[in-house]
């Protein structure tokens, strides 16, 4: 005899299916919110990675590219024993790499120390990876309040700007596109720690910490990505046009040479 169909006899729904549906709806809700406002890209990536990790039952450690970059740079710094002069952290925009000014630059100058170049090369190779192609690079130069007045650097504004520009130029000559970089001089206006104690006396250790170069690497917004891709496409087109033009000139020169030879 067949059993009558009844709600009590049916097997219960799979709870994981219900959970997955709820997560999908939650993601759709956040996507809708993000279409109407600016958002914190690293925070969004971190949240997306956390949700992906939960859906995957923790079997895979889903990390965003920004988090991966931070970890990879920290590994490089540790391997090269440069953790005393390089600090890596995350902020609301992306990864911030602080380079100690005294370790990377000559005193009162914007010339890189030779001993610091290998560390900067390793960091550069990490940043210029293909997966970070659509990331901005903002290099800020910082100084302490101690005045400087030389023919080349009349004040800390010129010195901090020159040091930031030196790092950007280093990145550019190493293969990173200038179109996604910028150099800024902050002088002593953005101290990391207080330069003076409560009595107004200088704190040498803190001033040493404030003399730094901050490299901020962060994802481009959707609009920035579109503009960057347009710039890259135009640059490629100009290269092709120039190459074709040079080739045409070479051909014309060759024809002229042949005509002259024939005339002889």
Domain count within the chain: 1
Q: What CATH number is associated with residue 152?
A: 3.30.1330.60
In a domain, 16, yes or no: no
Q: What is the pLDDT of residues 56-85, one digit of tens each?
A: 544 444 458 899 999 999 999 999 999 999
In a domain, 42, yes or no: no
Gyration radius (Cα) of the chain, Å: 28
In a domain, 150, yes or no: yes
Q: In angstroms, what CA-CA distances link 140 with 99, 184, 228, 243?
A: 10, 5, 21, 36
**Residue 33 CA neighbour count, 13 Å, CB half:** 9
- State which residues form the domain around 173: 65-226
pLDDT band at 9 (very low <50, low <70, confident <90, very high): low
Q: What is the pLDDT of residues 108-129, one digit of tens each?
A: 999 999 999 999 999 999 999 9
Q: How far is CA 105 from the centre of its chain?
A: 21
- Residues 6 or more apart whose Cβ sits within 8 Å of residue 27: 48, 51
Q: For the chain, give the mean pLDDT.
A: 82
pLDDT band at 256 (very low <50, low <70, confident <90, very high): very low
The answer to whether residues 88 and 69 touch, using CB atoms and an 8 Å cutoff, is no
H/E element, 131: none
């Amino acid at each position: 005899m067949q059993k009558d169909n009844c709600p009590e006899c049916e097997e219960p729904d799979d709870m994981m299916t219900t959970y997955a549906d709820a997560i999908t709806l939650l993601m759709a809700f956040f996507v809708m919110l993000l279409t109407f406002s600016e958002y914190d890209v690293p925070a969004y990536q971190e949240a997306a990675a956390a949700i992906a990790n939960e859906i995957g039952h923790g079997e895979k450690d889903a990390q965003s590219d920004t988090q991966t970059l931070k970890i990879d740079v920290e590994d490089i710094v540790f391997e090269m024993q440069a953790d005393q002069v390089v600090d890596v952290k995350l902020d609301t925009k992306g990864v911030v790499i602080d380079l100690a000014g005294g370790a990377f630059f000559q005193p009162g100058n914007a010339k890189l120390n030779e001993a610091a170049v290998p560390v900067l090369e390793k960091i550069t190779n990490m940043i210029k990876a293909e997966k970070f192609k659509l990331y901005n690079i903002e290099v800020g130069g910082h100084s302490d309040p101690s005045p400087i007045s030389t023919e080349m650097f009349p004040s800390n504004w010129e010195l901090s700007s020159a040091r930031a520009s030196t790092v950007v130029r280093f990145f550019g000559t190493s293969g990173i596109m200038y179109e996604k970089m910028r150099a800024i001089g902050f002088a002593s206006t953005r101290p990391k720690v207080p330069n003076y104690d409560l009595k107004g006396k200088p704190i040498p250790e803190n001033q040493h910490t404030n003399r730094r170069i901050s490299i901020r690497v962060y994802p481009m917004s959707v609009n920035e990505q579109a503009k960057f891709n347009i710039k890259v496409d135009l640059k490629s087109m100009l290269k092709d046009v120039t190459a074709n033009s040079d080739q045409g000139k070479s051909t014309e020169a060759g024809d002229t040479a042949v005509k002259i030879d024939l005339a002889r």
